[in-house]
Amino acid sequence: MKETSSPSNGPLVQSRPPLWDFKRLFQPKTVAVIGVSLKRERHPANVIFNKIHLRYPVDVFAVNPGGGDLFGRKVYTSIRNLPRPVDLAVIAVRAEYTLDTLKDCIDAGAGGAAIISGGFAEVGRLDLQDQLADLARQHGFPFIGPNCLGIYVPGRIDTFFIPSERMVRPESGKVALVSQSGGVLVDQMTKFAEQGIGFSLGVSIGNKALVRELDLLEYLAADPDTGVIAFYIEGFARGEGREFVQAARKCSKPVIVLKSGKTGEGMRAVSSHTASMAGDYAVFSAALAQHGIVEAVNEFELVSFCEALSCYGEPIDGRVGIISPSGGHGALAVDICSRNGLSIPAFNQEQQNRIRADLSSSVQPIASLNNPIDLTGSATDIDFMAATEHLARSPELDAIILLLLPYTPEVTSDLSARLSRVCRRHNKPLIAYVPHVERYRMLIEGFEFNGVPVSPSIKGAVLMVKALKRNKPC
């Protein structure tokens, strides 16, 4: 197997990653938390242990060389002394103890580990990090980290050392997010939860001494619970970026990348955070575009792209029809579409006449139908349904953006579900804008329950369509 050098993440990185068995790591039934404290109740390891013990359907064991009792549960002196082998070991000990701890995990038959501990390549201890990776590779033992938060799978496991009351977690869903930064992952989890976007898996890989993006891409490409794969990447080993792009291009699922280290200052920040090598961003970005891999330029785009691609996986050309009860909203949407490479085809007079004929008598004389369609504030459900039906049937459009203002007087709470079914019947992607206010929850849910993504901003709705276009190879 060919190997390439990586001055920032270890002397040798395998250019073709092994297919690790991640089942016990990501679907554990038994967990050991190594490094719990009998003196500090809110020690990170204690937070992890207590969270798993109280909230997740796994058997969890506490480990500390001194033994004792923690939250009424026995503390074992070693993972070797547990009553049975565990699937996942969460290692939260001081850096100098991690190598011996990892040996114990391997000898005890654990299925893998998340090394939460810091103090490795990010502070100049590349030698210790390499020793961990070499040992694990010899024994075919997968571990995440070090210097990471680890693993979050809704309803299964959460190894983050953040207290439950301080975290906002997405429900189960189709999006897997792999992040070098634990902080970015937690922040995105909050945004995803606010948008109603579900997770299949969240992984903080930190220094990625062993398990890297390529390994997880290979696993997630075959994971039946994952429909969209997203990455926050700080840097690659030498030559690894090319391999990542090639693997993502072959993946049958949409792959989204948010990359930091785009500037000289950003590259220095990346190096001090996880000791990554940022590389030439312009070359990497061009390669993503060339191969149809979606690049999010910021966190806002990442959320919008993930939501859209979890609902619609097929690429489009980017010809958009816009429906709104407000001319101003439609004009704003057109500007944003134009800035993002989407086209707004004008409707000829014959097309407009056909749409107008199906509108309500009060709206027929005042609606503007030359894309964007302005149904005016007098629009009823009938008008929205008629306009959407015509646009959904049009072969000249690839997607519809619906700017639905819930305070339009004659719009009912059933409209969102009815419009969703129209577009689903015609296999036309529909993206909705609805202000995210609790009193509009029924409208939002009518879309979401029918697989239509909803954005609380016009820009977000446009970005969702942009994601569908950028999922198409150049």
DSSP state letters, 254-300? -EEEEE---SHHHHHHHHHHH------HHHHHHHHHHTT-EEESSHH
Domain that holds residue 437: 315-470
Same domain? 220 vs 337: no
Whole-angstrom distance, CA of residue 301 vs CA of residue 306: 8
Q: What is the DSSP string of 33-79?
A: EET--SS-TT-HHHHHHHHHHHHSSSEEEEE-TT-EEETTEEEES-G
268 and 135 share one domain: yes
283 with 381, same domain? no
Query: Residue 282 corresponds to which tokens in the numbers above?
Result: 């312009």
Query: Model's pTM, two decimal places?
Result: 0.88
Nearest Cα to 369, choosing from 324, 412, 418?
A: 324
Q: Within 10 Å of residue 65's Cβ, how many Cβ atoms?
A: 12
In this structure, the answer to whether residues 61 and 113 fall within a common structural domain is: yes
CA distance 330 to 175: 30
Could you tell me if 302 and 393 lie in one domain? no
Tell me, what DSSP letter sits at residue 91? E
* DSSP 8-class letter at 89: E
* DSSP-based three-state secondary structure for 405: coil
**Same-domain pairing of 286 and 404:** no
Q: Which of 415, 442, 411 is nearest to 430 (CA)?
A: 415
Report how far residue 90's alpha carbon sits from residue 445's, in angstroms, rounded to the nearest whole number: 38
11: three-class secondary structure by DSSP? strand
**Is 294 in the same domain as 373?**
no
Question: Which of 258, 276, 310 is the endpoint of a domain?
Answer: 310
Element (H, E) at 23: helix 23-26
How many residues are listed for the chain in this entry?
A: 474
* 270 & 321 share domain: no
Cα distance between residue 454 and residue 461, in whole Å: 7
- Are residues 409 and 441 both part of a single domain? yes
Q: At 179, phi and psi to the nearest 5?
A: -135, 135
Domain boundary among 310, 338, 354: 310
My answer on whether 182 and 265 are in the same domain is yes
Q: Is the dihedral of CA 249, 208, 202, 61 positive or negative?
A: positive
CB 78 within 8 A of CB 36: no
Return phi, psi of residue 230, to 5°. Answer: -120, 145
- DSSP classification of residue 330: H
Domains in the chain, number: 2
The reported pLDDT for the residue numbered 17 is: 46
Q: What is the DSSP letter of 179?
A: E
Which strand ranges, in their side-by-side order, compose the sheet holding 454-455? 373-374, 320-324, 399-403, 430-433, 454-455
Contact 98, 81 (CB under 8 A): no
Torsion over CA: 27, 30, 34, 39 (sign): positive
One domain, residues 68 and 136: yes
Shared-domain flag, residues 235 and 341: no
- Tens place of pLDDT for every residue, the chain, 474 residues? 333 333 334 434 444 445 688 999 999 999 999 999 998 888 999 999 999 999 999 999 999 999 999 988 999 999 999 999 999 999 999 999 999 999 999 999 999 999 999 999 999 999 999 999 999 999 999 999 999 999 999 999 999 999 888 889 999 999 999 999 999 999 999 999 988 899 999 999 999 999 999 999 999 999 999 999 999 999 898 889 999 999 999 999 999 999 987 655 545 554 444 444 445 788 889 999 888 899 999 999 999 999 999 999 889 999 999 999 999 999 999 999 999 999 999 999 999 999 999 999 999 999 999 999 999 999 999 999 999 999 999 999 999 999 999 888 999 989 999 999 999 999 999 999 998 777 788 889 999 999 999 999 999 999 999 999 977 664
Cα–Cα distance for residue pair 95/128, rounded to 1 Å: 8
- Let me know: does 196 contact 179? Beta carbons within 8 Å: no
Q: Where are the alpha helices (DSSP H) in 145-276?
A: 182-195, 213-222, 240-250, 264-274
What CATH code is carried by the domain that includes residue 65?
3.40.50.261
Residue 422, CA atoms < 13 Å, CB-side half-sphere: 24
- With a CB cutoff of 8 Å and minimum separation 6, the contacts of 201 are 26, 151, 152, 153, 176, 177, 220, 223, 225, 226
- Give residues with Cβ within 8 angstroms of 288, minimum separation 6: 245, 248, 257, 294, 295
Final residue before a domain boundary, out of 272, 289, 310: 310
Q: Half-sphere exposure of 133 toward its Cβ, with a 13 Å CA cutoff?
A: 23
pLDDT at position 152 is 97
